[in-house]
Amino acid sequence: MDNDRIAGSAKEFAGRVEGAVGEMTGDAKTQASAKAREAAGTVQNLYGQAKDAARDATDSAAGYAKGAYEAGQDTFRDGTQALAKRVQANPIGALLVAGGIGFALALLMSRPARRPPPRWRYYS
């Protein structure tokens, strides 16, 4: 619980007590002061509630992010272990697959650049 919520509730309560005293005595100035103190307490209490809500949202978001990160680590670890088992079971096939991927990447990277269209098309 935030300190602003505690202080706001105390101010609000003090304003209500002061308002009750003002009604008993019939003093309009005390009643107005009580309403102002009560309103200030309500505002401070709401501010504390907003701070608490933001803190809770931040904590839960951090918890979700940590869980997702740990789940990603587990998935990556499982994938690398499965890949290592496949390579150990069939090393020649893994070598051929890796060579094929490398060859395809080399073809994609060494492809000649596209030529611009002929200029005569623009002068019609």
12-69 pLDDT, tens per residue?
Answer: 888 888 888 888 888 888 888 888 888 888 898 888 889 889 999 999 999 999 999 9
Query: pLDDT-derived band of residue 123, with 50, 70 and 90 as boundaries?
Result: low
Residue among 53, 49, 17, 52 at smallest CA distance from 35: 17
* Helical segments of 26-121, H only: 28-89, 91-109
Residue range 82-91, pLDDT digits in tens: 999 999 999 9
Say how many residues make up the chain: 124
Residue ranges per structural domain of the chain: 3-111
CA distance 48 to 3: 7
Cβ density class 84-114: b for 16+ within 10 Å, e for less:
eeeeeeeeeeeeeeeeeeeeeeeeeeeeeee
Backbone phi, then psi, for 26, in 5-degree steps?
80, 20
What pLDDT sits at residue 121? 60
CA distance 105 to 94: 17
Q: How far is CA 12 from CA 2, 27, 37, in A?
A: 16, 19, 6
Check whether 106 has a pLDDT greater than 80.
Answer: yes
What pLDDT sits at residue 34? 85
